[in-house]
Amino acid sequence: MNEIGAGLRPAAVPDLESIRAQFPILGRPMQGKPLIYLDSAASAQKPRRVVEELRRFYYEDYANIHRGIYELSQRASERHDRSRRRVQAFLGARDWREIVFTRNATEAINLVAYSFLRPMLEPGDEILLTEMEHHANIVPWQLVAAERGAKVVAAPITPEGELDLAQLRARITSRTRMIAVSWVSNVLGTVNPVEEVVDLARRAGVPVLIDAAQAVQHLPVRAAELGCDFLVFSAHKLYGPSGVGVLYGRAERLERMPPWQGGGDMIERVSFEGTTFNDIPFRFEAGTPDIAGICALPEALDFVEEVGLQAIHDHERQLLAAAEEGLRRIPGVHILGRPRRRASVLAFTVDGAHPQDIGMMLDLEGIAIRTGHHCAMPLHARLGLAASARMSVAVYNTREEIETFCAALERIAALVRGSGTEP
């Protein structure tokens, strides 16, 4: 059985009936059959409390923030500021000023690439990534590297789908200016040893960014204790609203960074002769944000903590083990990777069938999975594949859903074998 995280103790199994009742969409039929949603790694469904808070905020508290002296604006601003402190507590940050709101994890990485790294890059410098990164943790670095004459270097993975830590260490040189690593692979589910990665980076004096988009909903995150310079995640994968992301950055890093975008709320004083900028984190939050989404995010964090990350971990581990066991019994089905620590995700192929056809046939059974390259084309190329199918579990999934999924996939694989052609 694959472990997700270290330092967690067994917890009580969540009350699934009560949890599922908080997600009305799970009761909606698809293709005339009960919806089995196995695509939470792409975006998690939202509990009723998040949706109701969005509705309540728009009905009762909405106004623009940090601009108006009237009561409604002050109330909205206070709610927004409390959300920042709630995220600070959730991530274990030392200072509320270390929390920057963005649209998503992708924008957070771009902010670091352009505001922090770009000014210091020189020709010949290197940015160290891994072969398992999401495109969002590749392309921004490539863009600033191309502009400045630097290059992106990727540390390889092992045949089991784990980060080769020795090779990562060997690729840290005097020209390395940044290390950016995903905590959990969105394809293999591999849980990377980010504590060791951060330790290597700090010993070499190299800043490090952790992409935690696939981690915060499964693992406890204590950013200050981890010691990373930056950490990013998206609210929509954490049962929260879409359009909201978070950048954690150590205050001493953020204070030295220039603004990335210009506009309202990020300025101190503007004149045609020049502009001075606001303090952190506001200098990185130009324009009107998704105020309602930010104010609803604490409801998602409360949901996760009330269920308990330990209980979520144990439940998802059992589901993942059942899915892995079921898939390995099906002839012609191949799971990508065998990492010792895996979280929430299983990507697979079926002999003789294109992943898109597998996804379409499962959809006829009311089962939602992901197909394609999952925004990880370099990883698929490393594995000799153009695409794969991917199922991912969340706290609201059940053992019965996993059994139904495995049975449906077994029928599809048998159909493919019997026909001798792609479905």
Other Cβ atoms closer than 10 A to 329: 10
Q: Homologous superfamily of 16-46+308-419 in CATH?
A: Aspartate Aminotransferase, domain 1 (3.90.1150.10)
The CA distance from 315 to 317, in Å, is 5
Residues of the chain with pLDDT > 90, as a percent, come to: 89
Residue 163: band (very low, low, confident or very high) from pLDDT cuts 50, 70, 90: very high
Terminal CA-CA length for the chain = 32
Name residue, tokens 């039929």: 29
Residue 422 clears pLDDT 80, i.e. is over it: no
Query: Amino acid identity of 263?
Result: G
The catalytic residue among 228, 295, 375, 406 is 375
User: Under CATH, to which class is 51-304 assigned?
Assistant: alpha beta
Predicted confidence at residue 420, as pLDDT, reads 56
Q: Quote the mean pLDDT of the chain.
A: 94
pLDDT, tens digit (0-9, with 9 covering 90-100), for 226-285: 999 999 999 999 999 999 999 999 999 999 999 999 888 887 888 898 888 889 999 999
Tokens of 234: 């998206």
pLDDT at 2: 39
| Signed CA dihedral, 288, 293, 294, 296: sign only | positive
Neighbour tally for 165: CB within 10 Å: 15
Global pTM reads 0.94
pLDDT category at 294 given cuts 50, 70, 90 is very high
Quote the pLDDT of residue 5. 42
The whole-number pLDDT of residue 13 equals 59
Domain coordinates in residue numbering, the chain: 16-46+308-419, 51-304
- What pLDDT does 3 receive? 39
Indicate if 375 belongs to the active site.
yes
For the ranges 75-79, 117-121, 131-135, 416-420, which has the lowest average pLDDT?
416-420
Residue 239: count of CB within 10 angstroms of its CB: 27
pLDDT band at 12 (very low <50, low <70, confident <90, very high): low
